[in-house]
Amino acid sequence: ELNRILVVSIMGRLIKAMVPAEILNGKDISAQIRARLKNQVIQLKEQVPGFTPGLAILQSTIHGFIVQLPLDSDNSINTEGLINTIAPEKDVDGVTSISAGKLARGDLNDCFIRCMPKGCLELIKEAGVQIARRHAVVIGHSKIVRAPMHDLLLWNNATVTTCHPKTAYLDEEVNKGDILVVATGWPEMVKGEWIKPGAIVIDSRINYVPDDKKKTNGKKIVVDVSALESIKRFLEKFKPRKRMNQYNNLNFKAPVPSDIDISRSCKLKPIGKLAREIGLLSEEVELYDKTKAKVLLSALEHLKHQPDGKYWVVTGITPTLQEKGKARLQSGWCKPFVPISTRTFLCVRQPSQGPIFGIKGVAAGGGYSQIIPMQEFNLQLTGDIHAITVANNLIAAATDAQIFHELSQTDKALFNHLVPSVNGVRKFSDIHIRRLNRLGIEKTDSTTLTDEEINRFARLDIDPEIVTWQSMLDTNDRFLRKITIRQTPTKKGHTRTAQFDSSVASEIMAVLALTTSLEDMRERLGKMVVASSKNGEPVSAEDLGVGGALIVLMKAAIKPNFMQTLEGTPVFVHAGPFANIAHGNSSITADRIALKLVGPEGFAVTEAGFGADIGVENFFNIKSRYSGLRPHVVVLVATVRGGPVVTAEMPLPKAYIEENLELVEKGFSNLKKQIENGRMFVIPVVVAVNAFKMDTETELDLVSHLSREHGAFDAVKYTHWAEGAKGALALAQAIQRAAQAPSSFQLLYDLKLPVEDKNQNHSQHKAEVYTKQGFGNLPICMAKTHLSLSHNPEQKGIPTGFVLPICDINASIGAGFLYPLVGTVSTMDSPPVPVNGLF
């Protein structure tokens, strides 16, 4: 640096004097300048008592000093002595011992920080990378970058490992880092394969290496990290492709074996391998075993710049005794799109054990279109429904405990239990402060509350007759539909009528399906209304003080479950709200991750339970309203046969085994109405006709013709129960065409409408109560039978001339909807008659 200044200065003087230039020895001149500077300092010391160079700088007009390190000189220079002459307040590059000491102590606001480490930190933050609780690795051998970088990361709450270029097993240390900062000056020392997938790398040095291709100086610039090829491979690996993963080839048999035999005969792909194939990072996948895993919500962060794929929802006609095949349609999906170069991902609900052990049976599809292993899928999976059951029953227990204690204790005793004395001091917790704020009491000192404020704080004053929160069980038990509780003598005879509902009918299940993050779930769980006070005020889970416990119980359940189909299609199995009690859709979280993984040319397939009159209506007016996701296609699954009553142990009616075009045309009325239901939202509807072996081609063609005639974009039969993906190719092509068709999605009603207008219900009093409590602006979820368009399961086709009876109306405030109970619908199914000890 001194040489450059010297040359510029002397050349300027020579030009000014117009004298011939001569070659000078820069080293000699720089030595002269150093000697002159040293003499000037000595003279100042003699002239000014107490003079130090640092003091001279303070007294000058210079505001900051930068010393370029390392010092460039053939002669030995006392670097520490030089830099410590700078006053700390003018040490803008943070090189003095005082600045370094303050940084090491964490006094970040009271010192300057070296520009290179500080710049590295800003780059990490600018990239949106979380530093706290991440593992950082710093490699270097100087105080210029290594030491201050270590301190900066440490004081930003990272776990930091500092390495030297000669550290043993350096590759293993590097592989641990979520954040890697390299400043060695050794060309391409750190290899790309050492770096942990998904890590952020900051390389702060450049080097020159020989390169014959460079004609100017025969050198090229490289950095310390040899990561370029690794980065290219990484980006190529996770770039959306036409084909998403390697599919399994099935060995088809005729006749088709039983579902369980097919499931057990298929060789599963390790679920971790499938996760890597579709673009998930290893740290985003929690393996439960080789067949199932959970996917972390952090996947959305790394995929946030990926455009969404196409979005379509599968629904059906009103269920018949011959099942629709909605799960089967989804389970055999993905591979049909391979010949037309499109990626697909399935999102389905987790089934409840109640129907599985009941008459409905399993929900994993069937034949050569299944989610596997089917026993894992149908039973327990990763324990999400169990977590919901426990969380739900915690609220039920807390509600009755609150009622009991308020009946037997004074305000002061209740207050002392809620705010216990610790070392003679009663201190409010965060939960207490939040409750005080909701009550409008702006106090934080427990000793300042008045008697009236203590009463309001300690008592919820729950009306036992208006407890809306019920206990849950994931097994059908008709005898728990209505029970009497608190009959023991210790409960002082304050009995009340209660009931058990199915676990999947819990509002917590609906919250799981509609939530978007852990923070959002915490807020929704706290908002859930469990009862009303005697003054008509809503009592929430937050009022009971169990909101924090609920999120702890549910923190694993929020992560979507990851499985596969027989042919290797990726599947998210997440949430399972009943479609005839709650909104009946799989989770928003699973849909969002799937849409990112398939990319702009792919499809994310999601589920709407039961018929389009229930599942699709709730999908659009509730799920789409909250998620903001707009579907491109509605796929409506239909079967030819269904209608005549089937009696156990009796031969099937002829309508189920013989061609009957007249009956098919008559029964089409239900499918016609469901097509209308789908088209009300101005979305293309494709009818998927599930072909059974007893169906004739004439019947199948008639259903397809009538569907197109009455507004369906297209109607195509599919046969992948017996043929797998091959049997759904024509349907896949029809759906792809429909996804390109123009649409203008619209919701059916404005949330500002009164509850009565949105619902047309006759449970007037509760509608007025919910409106008064501030819940009138919520969407409506009709809880009704799935076996008819009306409230009466015996009325088939398109029933007319009936009044829809609303026997009750309940609120799922945390989930965000009101649900009227229509007719005799039950929130706890009945088990079937046992046969030989088995259901």
HSE (side-chain half, CA atoms, 13 Å) at 420:
3
CATH number for position 404: 1.10.8.770
pLDDT value at position 644?
Answer: 67
| pLDDT over 90 at 571, yes or no | yes
In a domain, 57, yes or no: no
- Residue that finishes a domain, picked among 238, 268, 300: 238
pLDDT value at position 545?
Answer: 93
Q: Determine how many CB atoms are found less than 10 A away from the CB of residue 788.
A: 22
Give pLDDT tens digits for 613-624: 777 888 888 898
In a domain, 322, yes or no: yes
CATH number for position 801: 3.10.410.10
Structural domain harbouring 764: 755-822
Give the distance, in angstroms, between the CA of residue 561 and the centroid of all CA atoms in the same chain. 11
Q: Is residue 341 domain-shared with residue 486, that is, in the same domain?
A: no
pLDDT band at 23 (very low <50, low <70, confident <90, very high): low
Specify whether the CB–CB gap between 51 and 42 falls below 8 A. no
Helices 2-17, 26-47: inter-axial angle, 10-degree rounding: 100
| pLDDT over 60 at 126, yes or no | yes
b (16+ CB within 10 A) / e for 619-639? bbbbbbbbbebebbbbbbbbb
Mean of the per-residue pLDDT values of the chain: 81
Q: At residue 182, what is the residue type?
A: V
Q: Is residue 359 domain-shared with residue 418, that is, in the same domain?
A: no
Sign of the C-alpha dihedral computed for residues 667, 673, 678 and 682 taken in this order: positive
pLDDT band at 520 (very low <50, low <70, confident <90, very high): very high
pLDDT value at position 755?
Answer: 61
Lowest mean pLDDT among 8-17, 180-189, 522-531, 720-729: 8-17
* Distance in angstroms (rounded) separating the CA atoms of residues 252 and 653: 31
pLDDT value at position 563?
Answer: 95
Q: Is residue 75 domain-shared with residue 167, that is, in the same domain?
A: yes
Q: Is residue 543 domain-shared with residue 408, that is, in the same domain?
A: yes
Give pLDDT tens digits for 59-90: 455 667 777 777 766 777 788 888 888 888 88
Give pLDDT tens digits for 252-286: 888 999 888 988 888 888 999 899 888 898 889 99
In a domain, 507, yes or no: no
pLDDT value at position 547?
Answer: 93
Q: At residue 215, what is the residue type?
A: K
Query: What length is written for the chain?
Result: 839
Give pLDDT tens digits for 771-823: 877 777 777 777 767 667 666 666 666 777 777 777 777 778 877 777 777 76
Sign of the C-alpha dihedral computed for residues 463, 468, 474 and 475 taken in this order: positive
Q: Determine how many CB atoms are found less than 10 A away from the CB of residue 745.
A: 13
Rounded to the nearest 5°, which phi and psi values hold at 49?
A: -60, 140
The backbone region for 486, taken as left when phi is positive above 0, alpha when psi lies in -120 to 50, beta otherwise, is left
pLDDT value at position 251?
Answer: 85
Q: Is residue 464 domain-shared with residue 494, that is, in the same domain?
A: yes
CATH number for position 331: 3.40.50.300
In a domain, 836, yes or no: no
Domain count, the chain: 4
Is residue 398 classed as helix, strand or coil in its secondary structure?
A: helix
107 versus 697: the higher-pLDDT residue is 697
Specify whether the CB–CB gap between 786 and 614 falls below 8 A. yes
Rounded to the nearest 5°, which phi and psi values hold at 687?
A: -90, 125
Give pLDDT tens digits for 475-487: 878 888 888 888 8
Specify whether the CB–CB gap between 605 and 378 falls below 8 A. no
Q: Is residue 299 domain-shared with residue 425, that is, in the same domain?
A: no
* Distance in angstroms (rounded) separating the CA atoms of residues 39 and 619: 85
In a domain, 50, yes or no: no
The backbone region for 36, taken as left when phi is positive above 0, alpha when psi lies in -120 to 50, beta otherwise, is alpha
Average pLDDT over every residue of 7-29: 46
Give pLDDT tens digits for 589-612: 999 999 999 988 889 999 887 777
Q: Which residues pair with 718 in a beta bridge?
A: 690
pLDDT value at position 531?
Answer: 92
β-pairing verdict for 603-611 and 310-316? parallel
DSSP secondary structure letter of residue 18: T
- Residue that finishes a domain, picked among 677, 711, 740: 740
Q: Is residue 346 domain-shared with residue 480, that is, in the same domain?
A: no
Q: Is residue 710 domain-shared with residue 814, that is, in the same domain?
A: no
Q: Is residue 217 domain-shared with residue 95, that is, in the same domain?
A: yes
Torsion from C-alpha of 384, 385, 388, 393, nearest 10 degrees:
-140
pLDDT band at 21 (very low <50, low <70, confident <90, very high): very low
pLDDT value at position 834?
Answer: 42
* Distance in angstroms (rounded) separating the CA atoms of residues 249 and 272: 19
* Distance in angstroms (rounded) separating the CA atoms of residues 61 and 56: 10
Q: Which helix (H) or strand (E) holds 521?
A: helix 518-527
Q: Is residue 402 domain-shared with residue 346, that is, in the same domain?
A: no
Cα-based distances in Å from 584 to 212, 624, 746, 782, 827:
66, 13, 20, 11, 13
Rounded to the nearest 5°, which phi and psi values hold at 483?
A: -135, 165
Q: Which of these, 289, 282, 250, lies nearest to 267 by C-alpha position?
A: 250
In a domain, 23, yes or no: no
What's the maximum distance between 2 C-alpha atoms anywhere in the chain? 122
Give pLDDT tens digits for 759-771: 555 467 677 777 8
Give pLDDT tens digits for 630-684: 999 999 998 888 666 767 667 777 777 788 898 888 889 888 988 988 888 889 9
* Distance in angstroms (rounded) separating the CA atoms of residues 574 and 346: 11
pLDDT value at position 423?
Answer: 92
Residues 6 or more apart in contact with residue 516 via CB below 8 angstroms? 588, 589, 592, 627
pLDDT band at 567 (very low <50, low <70, confident <90, very high): confident
Is residue 497 classed as helix, strand or coil in its secondary structure?
A: strand
Q: Is residue 611 domain-shared with residue 730, that is, in the same domain?
A: yes
DSSP letter string over 604-630?
A: EEEEEEEEIIIIIHHIIIIIIHHH---
Tokens linked to 557 = 């359940």
* Distance in angstroms (rounded) separating the CA atoms of residues 614 and 580: 7
- Residue that finishes a domain, picked among 238, 273, 295: 238
In a domain, 447, yes or no: yes
pLDDT value at position 333?
Answer: 46
Average pLDDT over every residue of 532-537: 91
Q: At residue 550, what is the residue type?
A: L
In a domain, 653, yes or no: yes
Specify whether the CB–CB gap between 425 and 444 falls below 8 A. no
Q: Is residue 785 domain-shared with residue 764, that is, in the same domain?
A: yes
CATH number for position 108: 3.40.50.720
